Amino acid sequence: MTKKNILIAYSIAAMLSVFSQQAALALFSGIALSIALGKAPLANASAMSRGALQSGVVILGLSLPFREVVTLGSANGVIVSIMVLGTLISGYALMKLSRVDDVSGKLLTSGTAVCGGTAVATMAPVINAKDQQVAQTLTIIFVLNGIAIVLFPTIGSALSLTQEQFGLWAAMAIHDTSSVVGAAAAYGDEALKTAAALKILRILWLIPLIILASYTMKRISAHEVRVPLFVLGFIVASLAGGYFQFAPSTAAVFSMISKSLFCLALFLIGSQMSLQSLRTICPRLITMALVLWTALSTASLYWVLNQ
C-alpha cells in the first residue's frame, strides 16, 4: 500500500474507534493496523495521543464537581498511598531478587507504582536511563495496559463490583491514565469518574518520587518536579463544574467528549506498536513486571472487596 492509502486506512479506523467509544476496540484496532501495515505514518502520533488523553481528563473534570473529588480523596487517599508505597518497596526488592539492572528496575517500579509511561518518561533523565532501557520498559507497560483494558472489566463483572469499587480498583492497579480511564469507561460512567479522580491522587506521588530520585542522583531542579499541567487543568475544570452546577444533560455531553478523546488517544498509542520492540525485551524484566503488577492488582482488589 502507498503511504497515502495507509494514512487513509488509519484515519478511517481512528474515526470508527472514536465513534464506537469502546476503549479496548480503539487500542487493539491501532495495534492490528500497526502490525499489518506498519506504524502509523504520523510523525507526531505520540504528542497527539498525549494531547487527546490530557484534554479528555480535563473535560471529564467538568462533569465531576470538586467536592466529589475531595470526598473520594479523603475517603480513599490513605489506601492509594499505601498501595503506591507498597509497590515501590516491593519493586525494589524484586529488582534485586530477579537481578534486573537497577535503571530498568527503577523505571518499571516507578511506572507500576505511580502513572505508567508518564513516570517512566519523567524518571528517565533523572536516573540517566538509556533509550533502550526506556523503550523496553514502556513496551512492557503498554502490553500490560492492553491486557488490563480487557481483563479488568471482565473480572469486575464476574465479581459484581459496584461502579465505585471498580473505579477505585482501576485507579490503584492499572499503570497509565489512558488505560485506567479506558477500563473504567467500559465498566460505566460512575466508575470512570471515580477512577479519574483517584488516579490524579496517584499521579501526584510522582512529585516526591522525582525529588527522592533527584536527591540520590544529586540532581534536583524545578523542571524535573513540576506537576503535570493536565492535573492542574482537571482540578480547575472540577472547580468550574462545582461552581456552575451543569445540568445532567450537559455533564453527559462532557463525559461523551472525554470518552471520545480517550478512545482516540488509545488508538494512536496502539498505532505506534511494533513486533520488533517486543522481541528485544529482557525476559527477567518481563517476569518482574508480571509479578509486581499481579501483586498490586491482587492486593488492591482484596482491599476493595473487603473494605
Spell out the per-residue pLDDT of the chain, length 307, in tens: 677 788 888 888 889 888 877 766 787 788 788 888 877 677 677 778 778 877 887 887 787 677 776 776 677 888 988 999 999 999 999 998 988 888 889 989 999 998 887 777 667 767 777 767 776 787 888 889 889 998 999 999 999 999 999 999 999 999 988 889 889 988 998 999 889 888 888 877 877 887 777 666 655 444 445 556 776 787 888 888 877 888 878 888 887 888 788 788 878 877 877 777 667 678 899 999 999 999 999 999 999 999 7
- pLDDT computed for residue 14 by the predictor: 86
Joined grid coordinates for residue 7:
494514512
What pLDDT sits at residue 164? 93
CA distance 303 to 235: 27
Distance CA 278, CA 274 (A): 7
Distance CA 276, CA 37 (A): 14
* Cα atoms found within 13 Å of the Cα of residue 33, Cβ hemisphere only: 27
**How far is CA 10 from each of CA 3, 45, 107, 146, 269, rounded to the nearest angstrom?**
11, 11, 31, 19, 12
Cα–Cα distance between 191 and 183 in angstroms, integer? 9
Cβ atoms of 112 and 140 within 8 Å: the answer is no
Nearest residue to 270 via CA among 57, 48, 40, 37: 40
Q: Is the pTM of this model over 0.75?
A: no
What is the 8-class DSSP label of residue 114? I
Please report the pLDDT score of residue 224 as a whole number.
46
Contacts 24+ apart (CB under 8 A), 82-86: 83/172, 83/173, 83/296, 83/299, 83/300, 83/303, 84/113, 84/114, 84/202, 84/205, 85/113, 86/296, 86/299
Query: What is the CB neighbour count within 10 angstroms for residue 2?
Result: 7
Neighbours of 194 (CB within 10 A): 28
The 8-class DSSP code of residue 112 comes to: I
CA contacts within 13 A on the Cβ side of 215: 6
